[in-house]
Amino acid sequence: MQAKPLIAIVGRPNVGKSTLFNRIAGRQKAIVIDEPGATRDRNYMDCVWDDKDFTLIDTGGFEPASEERILVQMREQTNLAIEEADVIIFLMDGKDGLTPSDIEIAKQLRGKDKNVFYVANKIDGDRHKEMLGEFYKLGIDHFYPISAQHGLGVDELLVTVTHNFASITDAKDKQDDQMKIAIVGKPNVGKSSLVNRILGKERSITNPIPGTTRDAIDMIVKVRGKSYLLIDTAGIRKKSKISLTLEKYSVVQALKSINRCDIALVLIDAEEGLTEQDTKIIGLAYERGKACIIVVNKWDKIEKDNSTVGKFVDDIKDKIKFMDFAPIIFISAVTGQRAPKIFDLIDSVYSQYTKRIGTSSLNDLVEKSVQKNSMARYANRQMHISYATQTDVKPPTFVFFVSNTKGIHFSYERYLMNQIRETFGFDSVPLKIIFRKKK
């Protein structure tokens, strides 16, 4: 099971990291969700380049010696990205030449046992190339001159960076049917306790399978005769101190696990309620079309009356309108209260996530839906749907062939989605609808 590689762009402030990020990410349309609560800060992006897919992270400015609070935070964030990334693009400014900060960053990267590509940016012509000699003082064999702003050299850099990545086509062929579950959430919410509860107190590692990162271990756990793959559980327990202090950037870790899973168990702390950070992690799962179960942990610590659960559920659904179909379960990982019920939910969500609908049943529904609520006119013509078909699962994906893709209003798309949900029992998983022009 190949994980999607993570590429981090690091470097001191103002060397053009965001420009390079936008240059690489801008090849495809960014996924922007207009609904409230979905994640909006674009410091990471799923990218596809030459049939290879990867996740790109833009780290804030990285000033190794500064004590100013904001720069310290940026440095910690960068350290976390470096810790999580598979490949690092270390960006320097070709016009400024080599600076003490660059030398310091290079020193830190050297101790990381990571694949690092040294890149000099802002090289717009031969006159800038003359200054490149001094970068060899870093003791590197090769570096890449580029201009992120004009795109010069970026393709050549990407060819080398993605050289060993699996192609999407190969990855699709190799997909296995093992149900993959990721436990994600911010630090100190009880992820390790839940893993231990699932695995049985002392049997920490029942069946270690080397994961994709050096310290990640996936575990197969058997429950009632069914086997489930828990993703990167070692990572939950032995992350560095940086990650634990940096709640804000635990998103970077969640990203890796979410990219690889079918179902994300998002743990939230009952005493804190749903935080902005939780919402961001749920937004990541939503953007990637992953199924999600919201697990409210530490429920034993809450004083309850008859309306407590109802209020809590309403509050969560209100904050994650884009994912309000995700089931919610209240547990205590420490006492074990209701924890075994998680697997009933996982089974039911997975069966929806992998469900296929026959083309004729789908088209019967489309016909009824259009009769009940006909499509609006567009460019003075009546819009119509020729036919629809399900093309994929994980998430269930439906393609509608229509007279004009521009004429589809998002409210009509939502109407069709709700009809599919109600009729075929997709009430707990994300669905994807694609409109194509009928040839």
The predicted-structure confidence for 46-57, as pLDDT tens digits, reads as follows 888 888 989 898
Q: Give the per-residue pLDDT at 368.
A: 96
Q: Give the per-residue pLDDT at 207.
A: 41
Tens of pLDDT, residue by residue over 331-361, are 999 999 999 899 999 999 999 999 999 999 9
Q: Give the per-residue pLDDT at 241.
A: 57
**What pTM did the predictor assign?**
0.78
Q: Give the per-residue pLDDT at 328.
A: 97
Position 28 pLDDT exceeds 60 = no
Q: Give the per-residue pLDDT at 217.
A: 67
Confidence of residue 33 (pLDDT cuts 50, 70, 90): very low
Confidence of residue 205 (pLDDT cuts 50, 70, 90): very low
Confidence of residue 83 (pLDDT cuts 50, 70, 90): confident
Domains in the chain (CATH in brackets) are 6-170 (3.40.50.300), 176-353 (3.40.50.300), 359-437 (3.30.300.20)
Give the pLDDT mean for 155-178: 82
| Structure tokens belonging to residue 350 | 């997975």
Beta bridge partners of 381: 378
Confidence of residue 181 (pLDDT cuts 50, 70, 90): very high
Q: Give the per-residue pLDDT at 9.
A: 92
CA distances from 339 to 189, 268, 295, 331, 438 (A): 15, 14, 9, 6, 48
**Picking from 58-72, 168-182, 289-303, 425-439, which range would have the lowest pLDDT averaged per residue?**
58-72
Sign of the torsion angle spanned by Cα atoms 89, 8, 212, 153: negative
Position 249 pLDDT exceeds 80 = no
Closest listed residue to residue 315, CA positions, set 379, 307, 385: 307
Q: Give the per-residue pLDDT at 389.
A: 97
Sheet with 52-58: strands ordered across: 44-49, 52-58, 6-10, 87-93, 115-121, 143-145
Highest mean pLDDT among 110-124, 184-198, 211-225, 414-428: 414-428
Position 227 pLDDT exceeds 80 = yes
For the chain, what is the mean pLDDT? Answer: 83
